[in-house]
Amino acid sequence: MSEEKDDAIIGVPIKPRDMITYQSETIVSRVVMMSRQGTVTLFAFDEGQGLSEHTAPFDALAFSLDGEAEITIAGTLHLLREGEMIIMPASIPHAVRPIHRFKMMLIMIHAKSGEEEKKEQSEMEPLNKEEEKALKEEKDRKKAEKKALKEEKDRKKAEKDQKKKAEKKVLKEEKDRKKAEKKVLKEEKDQKKKAEKKAKKEKKGSK
């Protein structure tokens, strides 16, 4: 994310509520600062507008600049009055429903939550012998499971190939048997035809 600033307000005292104006039947937003570390954004909600329940990947601080709004966090309703702020935790469903017209400044810090940092820190801490042993056993177990799955897959494939080969052999034998039967029938027919022809010839010669 590229860093962006509003140069017109750098080094100038200004009221945030005056930096954004209401517009009929819509929500107006203005990014004041944007960087890899976070964003500062102003919002102006016309009456009847709001933000439906959603989640964000980072903690967000909402500061009321004008009016009041109902802020719902994980199903709990909070009334945010002018001059007050509330922190909306990362990954927790929250919603913004203004009472009338409402302006707020939203500060979002692009950093890991406290729980994530604790988890990452614990993962970086050196393991004791028991933990190392348990980790190795778990790794070996997964390796064995993977090996067993591969062997089972290979066994099923071998059975399938063997069955297919046997079926192919049976079909070939059946085909050869029918071919042999056809050959025998043809030979018998030819012999019969030859015998009839011979008998007919002998009968004609005896007259």
Band of pLDDT at residue 3, cut at 50, 70 and 90: very low
Is residue 88 domain-shared with residue 175, that is, in the same domain?
Answer: no
Is residue 53 domain-shared with residue 105, that is, in the same domain?
Answer: yes
Is residue 108 domain-shared with residue 8, that is, in the same domain?
Answer: yes
Strand order of the sheet with strand 27-35?
4-5, 27-35, 38-45, 102-109, 60-66, 85-88
Residue 124 has pLDDT above 60, yes or no: no
Is residue 131 domain-shared with residue 181, that is, in the same domain?
Answer: yes
Is residue 142 domain-shared with residue 96, that is, in the same domain?
Answer: no
Query: Which element (helix H / strand E) includes 29?
Result: strand 27-35
Is residue 69 domain-shared with residue 163, that is, in the same domain?
Answer: no
Assigned token pair, 168? 């192919």
Of the two residues 135 and 61, the one the predictor is more confident about is: 61
Tell me how far apart the alpha carbons of residues 18 and 42 are, in angstroms, rounded to a whole number.
Answer: 10
- Specify the pLDDT at position 94: 95
Is residue 73 domain-shared with residue 149, that is, in the same domain?
Answer: no
Q: Is residue 120 part of a domain?
A: no
Work out how many domains the chain is built from and give that number: 2
Of the two residues 2 and 207, the one the predictor is more confident about is: 207
What is the span of the domain harbouring residue 201? 127-205
Q: Is residue 122 part of a domain?
A: no
* Domain C-terminal end among 51, 80, 112: 112
Query: Which element (helix H / strand E) includes 116?
Result: helix 114-124
Give the least confident one: 36-40, 112-116, 137-141. Answer: 112-116
- Specify the pLDDT at position 86: 97
Assigned token pair, 37? 């570390």
> In the chain, pLDDT over 90 holds for what percent of residues?
44
Is residue 22 domain-shared with residue 103, that is, in the same domain?
Answer: yes
Can you give the pTM of this predicted structure?
0.52
- Specify the pLDDT at position 7: 66
Is residue 104 domain-shared with residue 133, that is, in the same domain?
Answer: no
Query: What are the beta bridge partners of residue 41?
Result: 31, 106
